[in-house]
């Protein structure tokens, strides 16, 4: 045995007891090898980690005992062993990606360091310290799995965010289209009302003005007339008054119709249920559609004004859709309400349509109905089969309307 190792282990050495205590007090395995790789000493912690008695390891080739194979089981040539490089090249090393093998044939992940023993410039072996890093490796694997799980979660969340962002962008675009369409419809309605005011009320007022001027002229001509002429003029005046009265009645009727188009007075004076019934019985027969009407609403049930207007406008749009597109002959309307919800169902025997027709980006009427209903927690469902008609169902949760 080389001199350094002798001094290290020699029980006669004054430092022997202190060194032994130091080696035995550490939980790390520590052993020494000579230039042949034979074990010169090993502490009890190291022998326990390897599953050997101390005395059975001293003198044995430690590479052959505990470092003979890689983790996958294939052989580990001694010439490639970093531990042996320490005394062959005089270079220390530190490794944490290999395994040591126990006496029972099992292995454990290990972190080890090998430092050369140098005496008077000569390498006489190496001292190896090692520690079982099974728990550390398990924690590292757990952390890696957690990081992978976190990465997957982040990827999932990013995907969800992208999907939600795309959905919100599509919804925003749809809302913008709906808003643009609503503005277009408002402009059309303003144009229609202006035309009606100009064509109907304007012409009526012009005719009344002409009649008033005629009255004024006739009155100025009364001076100097004979009684016979005066009697004839009075007959003309009476006829003109009757004509003016009819013009005024027509003007009042036109004003009433325009006002009703803007907002039915029955909705304000008699409430939602009367307004729904009035509109169905006025609108559908005018379009030559037969009506099967059923309404079951508890007495005293009143919706707040904003909700009542929304329900009425949705109902108007449904009937308008039937008249414009369904090519139906009969419409069945069922309105039911109880403590929790209101349902309005409108079915026709028309031509029907594919479901995607009602989901099209330019189906502004349907979009508008759904927006109105959704604002008050309601919903619109549409069931339509080509050749079998369509059913529009409005569900309105009254519990939200307190």
Q: Could you tell me the two tokens for 287?
A: 């379009």
Residues 267 and 303 sit within 8 Å (Cβ to Cβ) = no
Pick from 216, 193, 200: which is nearest to 263 by CA?
193
What sign does the CA torsion over 130, 135, 137, 140 have? negative
Distance CA 10, CA 89 (A): 27
How many CA atoms are closer than 13 Å to the CA of 267, on its beta-carbon side? 21
Residues of the chain with CATH 3.30.565.10: 266-401
| The listed CATH number (3.30.450.20, 3.50.50.60, 2.160.10.10, 3.40.50.1980) that belongs to domain 3-132 | 3.30.450.20
Q: What are phi and psi of 53, to 5 degrees?
A: -70, 145
* Angle (CA) 116 120 126, round 5°: 15
What sign does the CA torsion over 10, 16, 22, 27 have? positive
pLDDT score recorded for residue 14: 46
Pick from 13, 11, 48: which is nearest to 27 by CA?
48
Residues of the chain with CATH 3.30.450.20: 3-132
DSSP string, 86-121: HHHS---EEEEEEEEE-TTS-EEEEEEEEEEEEETT
- 19: enclosing H helix or E strand: helix 16-25
**Residue with structure tokens 């059913």?**
391
Please name the residues in contact with 244: beta carbons below 8 A apart, sequence gap of 6 or more. 208, 211, 212
Pick from 1, 2, 5: which is nearest to 127 by CA?
5
Residues 355 and 384 sit within 8 Å (Cβ to Cβ) = yes
Fold of 266-401: Heat Shock Protein 90 (3.30.565)
Beta pairing partners, 293:
333
What sign does the CA torsion over 256, 259, 260, 266 have? negative
Distances (CA, A) of 213 to 207, 209, 332: 10, 6, 54
Instruction: Encode the chain (402 residues) as per-residue pLDDT tens digits.
Output: 333 433 344 444 444 566 677 777 788 999 999 988 999 999 999 999 999 999 999 999 999 999 999 999 999 998 888 888 777 788 888 999 999 999 999 999 999 999 998 888 888 899 999 999 999 889 988 999 998 888 888 888 888 888 888 888 877 776 777 666 666 666 666 666 666 666 666 677 777 777 777 776 776 666 556 666 666 767 777 777 777 777 777 777 766 666 666 666 778 788 899 999 998 998 899 889 999 999 999 888 889 988 998 899 899 899 989 998 899 999 999 999 987 899 999 999 999 999 888 888 777 788 888 888 888 899 999 999 999 999 999 999 987 544
pLDDT score recorded for residue 356: 87
pLDDT score recorded for residue 263: 66
Task: Give, as one character, the DSSP assignment of residue 178.
Answer: H
């Amino acid at each position: 045995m080389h001199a350094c190792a002798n001094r290290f282990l020699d029980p006669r050495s004054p430092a022997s007891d202190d060194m032994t205590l130091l080696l035995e007090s550490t939980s790390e395995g520590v052993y020494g090898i000579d230039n042949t790789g034979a074990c010169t000493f090993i502490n009890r912690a190291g022998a326990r980690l390897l599953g050997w008695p101390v005395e059975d390891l001293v003198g044995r080739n430690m590479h052959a005992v505990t470092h003979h194979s890689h983790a996958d089981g294939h052989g580990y040539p001694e010439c490639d062993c970093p531990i042996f490089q320490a005394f062959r090249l005089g270079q220390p090393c530190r490794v944490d990606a290999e395994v040591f093998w126990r006496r029972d044939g099992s292995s454990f992940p290990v972190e080890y360091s090998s430092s050369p023993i140098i005496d008077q410039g000569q390498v006489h072996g190496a001292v190896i310290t090692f520690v079982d890093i099974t728990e550390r490796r398990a924690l590292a694997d757990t952390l890696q799995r957690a990081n992978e799980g976190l990465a997957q979660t982040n990827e999932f969340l990013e995907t969800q965010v992208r999907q939600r962002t795309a959905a919100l962008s599509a919804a925003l675009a749809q809302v913008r289209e709906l808003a643009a369409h609503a503005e277009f419809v408002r402009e059309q309605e303003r144009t229609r009302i202006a035309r009606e005011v100009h064509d109907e009320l304007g012409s009526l007022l012009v005719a009344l003005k002409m009649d008033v001027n005629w009255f004024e002229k006739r009155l100025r001509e009364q001076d100097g007339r004979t009684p016979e002429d005066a009697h004839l003029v009075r007959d003309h005046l009476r006829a003109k008054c009757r004509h003016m009265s009819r013009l005024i009645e027509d003007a009042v009727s036109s004003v009433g119709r325009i006002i009703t188009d803007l907002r039915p007075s029955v909705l304000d004076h008699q409430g939602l249920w009367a307004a729904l019934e009035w509109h169905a019985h006025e609108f559908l027969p005018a379009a030559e559609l037969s009506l099967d009407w059923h309404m079951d609403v508890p007495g005293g049930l009143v919706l707040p004004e904003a909700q009542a207007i929304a329900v009425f406008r949705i109902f108007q749009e449904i009937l308008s859709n039937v008249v414009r597109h369904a090519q139906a002959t009969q419409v069945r309307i069922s309105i039911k309400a109880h403590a929790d919800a209101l349902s309005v169902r409108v079915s026709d025997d028309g031509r029907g349509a594919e479901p995607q027709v009602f989901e099209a980006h330019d189906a502004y009427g349907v979009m508008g109905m759904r927006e109105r209903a959704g604002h008050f927690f309601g919903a619109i469902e549409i069931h339509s089969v080509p050749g079998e008609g369509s059913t529009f169902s409005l569900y309105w949760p009254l519990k939200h309307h307190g």
